[in-house]
Structure 1
C-alpha cells in the first residue's frame, strides 16, 4: 500500500470530522432531551414512538369529547331538575282542581296557575346549551323543539329523533343529550299504562275513573279499549250493559259486560287483566276510551304541554249547575292526572339515564387518564435521554475530538522529507 502525505492529511481530517459529528450529535441529544435525533438512531423505537404518539393524540381527543359530553349532560340535568318540581306541582294542583267545592270563578283562577306552569315547562323544554343549541331538538340544534301553533293552540314537536352521539372512547359512543320526543312524547319504556277519556258527544254524567291492571304482560298486547253504554235487547226486559271493543293482537273482540246503573260506582272487567271504574248516570251510546300509552309513543296527545292546555280549557269552561259538563271536565282532569303521572315517571327515567351516562363517562375518563399516563411513560422510555450516560458520552466525545486534533496536528507537522532528514 502506497502511503502519501495526502493520505496522512485525509485520514486525520476524516477522524476529526467523525469525532466532531459524534460530539454534535451528543450536543443535540442534551439540548433536546431526546435520545433519538433521527430515526436512524433507533429505527424500531422510532416506529413505536410514532404509533404511541398517535394513540396518545387520540386519547387526548377522546378526553376532550368526554369533557364536552359531561358538560352537555350536566346542562340537561339542570333543566330536568327544574322541570321535575314543575310537573309535580301541576299534579298537586290537579288534585286541588278536582275539589267539588270550587266554583267556576275559583277554577278560572286555578286555570291561570296552570297556564303559568305550562309556559314555564315550555320554556325549560326549549332550553339552549352553552353553544346556543337547543338541548331537546335532536340533531336540529338550531330549531326550537316545542312550538305553539297559533291556529290549533297546541304544541308541536319540531325536532327529530336523532341522538347526538359523542365518541367518548375508541369503542363507545354515548348520547350527549335526549330529544324532546323521548322526554315528553312517550311513557316510561316497558311500562303498561292506559289513558282514559270520555267522548265530547256524551249526553250522560258518566265519569271514567282509575284503571287497574292485574296482568301487565297480557294487557301490554292490547292497544285500545272502547266502552259504549248500550241496551241488551236479547234479554226481557232489555238490560243495561257496557259493550267493550278490545283492540288486541288478533284484531277487534267485542264483549258485553254487565253494568248496574243503581250503583254509585261500578268496576268494569274489560278482560286481559284490565278493570276500570265507571260512575255517574250514563245515557245510551255514551262512549269512553282507554288507550295504551305505549301504542301512542310520539303522539302529541302525550305531550305534557298539551295536557296542561286541555286542563286550562276544561277549568275555564263553566260547569256549575250542569252535571253533564262537570262530568266532561272530570274526565279531562282524570285523563290529565294519568298523563302527568306518566310524564313525571318518564322525566325521572330520562334523568336517571343522564346520571348513568355521566357515571359511565367519568369511569371511562379515569381509564383514559391511566392510559394517557401509560402511553406517556412508554414514549418517555423510548425517546427520553439518559442524562448521566449522555454526560459521560459528552466527555468521551470531547476527549476523542481533542485526541484526534492532536493526532492531526502531529501528522500536519510530519512529512516524508522530515522523516528522511531525521534518518
Structure 2
C-alpha cells in the first residue's frame, strides 16, 4: 500500500482531534460531576438513571402530599377537639340545669349561654380551610356546609340543614395509599336522611325546653335534662370515634413519611452510583489523555517537518 504525505498528515491530525475530544469529554465530566453526559456514553445506565429519577420525583411529590395531609388532619383534629369541648360544656350545663333549686329565670339565662355555644359550634361547622373551601361540606366545598340555625325567640334556634354531601376529600400519599384528610359534616354532626343535624337539633331542643315559661304545662326540665345529656353523650362518642380515626391516620402518615425518606436516600444513592463521576479515576484519566495528546502533537510536528532536503548536505 502506498502511503502518501497527505495520509500521514491526516492520520496525525485525526489522532490529535480524537485525543482532544476525549480530553474535553473528561474535562466536562469533572466540571459537571457526571460521568454520563449524553445517553450514548452508557445507554443502559442512562435509561436506568431516568427510571430512578422519575421514581425519585414521584417520591418527592408524595413527601409533599404527606405534609399537606398532616396539616389538614392536624387542623381537623383541632376542630374536632373544639367541637368536643363545646359538647362537653353543654352537657355540663345540662347537668347543672337538673338542679331542683334552679329558677325559670336561671334556666332562661342558661339557655342564652347554650345558644351562644350553639352558634360557636355552627361557626366551626361552616369553617374554611387554608384554600378557602368549606371544611365539612364533603365534595361540595365551594358552598357552606350548613344552613339555618337563626335565632327564633323565645324558642331555640331554627333547624340546621346539611347542604354538602358524604364525600371525604383525600390526598395520595404513596403509590398505594390515598389518605382521607377530611370528614363530611353528615358524619361529624350526625345528619339524618332528611338533612337535619342531630347534634344541632339536640342543642336547639334543649334550649327550647329551658325557655318554656313556668306556667307551661309541657315544661318538664328533668326529662329535658335527661334527654339532652343522652344526646350530648351520643354526639361526643361520635366525635371521639372520628377523632381516634384521625389520630390513627396521623400515626400512619408519620410511618409513611419515614419510609418515603428512606426511599429518597436509596434513590439518591442509586443515582449517584449511576451518574456521579469518580473524581480520582477521571483526574488520572485526564492526566493520561493530556500526556497522550502532547505526544501526538509532538509526533505530528516531527512527522510533518520531515523533508528530503533535511537529509541533503
The normalised TM-score by structure 1 is 0.69
Query: Is 1:185–1:298's contact at 8 Å kept on the other side of the alignment?
Result: no
Query: What's the CA shift string for 1:207-236, capped at 9, x where partnerless?
Result: xxxxxxxxxxxxxxxxxxxxxxxxxxxxxx
1:100 aligns with 2:100: yes
Match of 2:261 among 338, 347, 369: 369
* Alpha-carbon distance in structure 2 between the residues aligned to 1:303 and 1:363: 36
Change in CA separation of 1:355 and 1:303 when aligned onto 2, cut-off 3 Å: same
- What is the deviation of 1:153? 1.4
- What is the deviation of 1:360? 0.3
Question: Which structure: greater strand fraction?
Answer: 1
Change in CA separation of 1:305 and 1:149 when aligned onto 2, cut-off 3 Å: closer
Matches within 5 A, 1:47-126: 47-126=47-126
Q: Partner residue of 1:157? A: 162
* Alpha-carbon distance in structure 2 between the residues aligned to 1:346 and 1:384: 55
Match of 1:326 among 201, 204, 219: 219
Which structure 2 segments of 5+ residues have no match? none
- Tell which structure's C-alpha radius of gyration is larger: 1
Q: Partner residue of 1:232? A: none
- What is the deviation of 1:301? 5.0
- What is the deviation of 1:115? 0.5
Question: Which structure: greater helix fraction?
Answer: 2
Q: Partner residue of 2:302? A: 410
SS across alignment from 2:102: coil
SS across alignment from 2:218: helix
- What is the deviation of 1:346? 0.8
SS across alignment from 2:230: helix
Cα RMSD, aligned residues only: 1.9
- What is the deviation of 1:109? 1.1
* Alpha-carbon distance in structure 2 between the residues aligned to 1:29 and 1:301: 69
* Alpha-carbon distance in structure 2 between the residues aligned to 1:303 and 1:76: 20
Change in CA separation of 1:114 and 1:330 when aligned onto 2, cut-off 3 Å: same
Q: Partner residue of 2:229? A: 337
1:167 aligns with 2:172: yes
Higher relative contact order (CA 8 A, sep 6+): 2
* Alpha-carbon distance in structure 2 between the residues aligned to 1:356 and 1:99: 40
Query: What's the CA shift string for 1:31-69, capped at 9, x where partnerless?
Result: 100011111111111010000000000000000100000
Query: Is 2:162–2:197's contact at 8 Å kept on the other side of the alignment?
Result: no
Query: Is 1:181–1:298's contact at 8 Å kept on the other side of the alignment?
Result: no
Change in CA separation of 1:86 and 1:78 when aligned onto 2, cut-off 3 Å: same
Query: What's the CA shift string for 1:73-108, capped at 9, x where partnerless?
Result: 111111122221211010111122233332222211
- What is the deviation of 1:163? 1.1
